[in-house]
Structure 1
Amino acid sequence: MQYQGVLTKMQTEIGNPIQYYLVFEDSFLSINQLLNKEIEINFVGYQCLNCSKKKKIFRQGFCYDCFYSSAAVGDWIMRPELSTAHLGIADRDLEYEQKAQLQPHIVYLALSSEIKVGVTRKTQVPTRWIDQGATQAIAVVEVPNRYLAGITEVALKNHYADKTNWRKMLQCTAESCDLILEKSKVESLIPVEVKDYFYSQKNDVFELKYPVLKYPAKVASLNLDKTPTFQGKLTGIKGQYLIFENGTVFNVRGSEGYIVTINV
């Protein structure tokens, strides 16, 4: 059977294990059902997720022009401490930025490749943790806007990683840790203006199980621009990656905006 469409990040559903879906305009594909089966991925072309034009993807599923003009990919996305909507100051589109920034945000510790600190909108829990391939996560603070979350993350980056090592995450080599203990160390490290938002009474550790039959010893990333056709046996799904028997891994989110056919 063949499926065709524009890649966007896999949709997920919490479960044991997590359920993954590729959603296209006219169809969807349950990725969990493809485990231990041969699949073929063919690169067809590009389609910008913002303007829908058949233009080469620059970053995050956007063409060059849209990446530098759309409010959806402003610098405050990757660097929340740059958020200014709480001051009534626009970056690209104040109305959009107020909706995105002026809502509850969570600063968390997660175990993926190692313990890392991160920021997400409260509505994106636990999706954000799943997308990063975290096996455990714990909320540290809940703040009313993205700026406060950003300055908290900046303060904690001096003590914890803020990026996931995707190779280690996919090989599942992270050492076990006590996230409750780590959280107890954080209260003295967060900015003064955030201390009232510290989760002092909540110590719930979120556990995440992924549909992986076998973790690879070594990994090699599939780049559709360089390898437009790939075939292999799917042996796992973690984060936003498909893991194949030969150690090839495919970052679906990193290929957003690519038009593909998938034969199963």
Structure 2
Amino acid sequence: MSAARGRWADLLPRVLSAVVMVAVGGYAVWTGGLVFDVMIALCCGGMVWELVRMLEPARSGTALQLGAVSGAAVLLASLLPVFWVLPVLAAPVAAGFGQISDRRQYFTGFALWVLLAGFGFIWLRGQPEMGLPWMLWLIGIVVVTDVAGYFAGKIIGGPKFWPRVSPKKTWSGTASGWLAAAFLGAVFASQMGLGFGIVVLSVLLSMASQAGDVAESALKRMTGVKDSSALIPGHGGLFDRFDGMLGAAAMFLAVTAIWG
């Protein structure tokens, strides 16, 4: 009986945290504008804070400073002309590179990824011709990729995708995530009057989402931590919850920048 209780001990905080996240996130996504921009900036700042704490646990003050500056940079970049975006987002990354003494190359790569993905979310939500429907599509791609991958991996099983980095992921789950994303992309394309390219893009975003999850898992293994932080009761940290979203958003921003 005690073992069963222990297994479900974190259920209540997990459920409560999930309800709060869905409520706050859903409100911000639906409302858009400054509310959404501030939420994304806060999340990005929190993830940079987690990143520094994972890489250099003793530098709590540095982590807090870089997190605050990074969040402010994302918000500022969303308000400035496009040619200022990269310099503004690169500024806190360069500052962190100068302050962090160990594994600074990992900080540079992951921090820049977080900030660009955060800006990508803000940019997409703020586009009059895209806005809420496209944002919901992007979030939906990540969600169906995770859900389909989880259940297919449990039911079908089979060879592991990358056992050394992410031992729970299987090829069946990975491929099922792609199929689910393609299906959602096809539905979205039919509803919006778009072409087959959206289906292809949906699969690419699904792959990017999975890559984001694997990258964060590899970082945690390298730094020897189970969760990026304990910021979200029962769930770990912001990085743990949104690594897939970061991957998909960064890929979408890259595709948009290349093909328009």
| Normalised-by-shorter TM-score class | under 0.3
Q: Relative to total residues, which structure has the larger strand share, 1 or 2?
A: 1
After TM superposition, the score normalised by the length of structure 2 is: 0.24
After TM superposition, the score normalised by the length of structure 1 is: 0.24
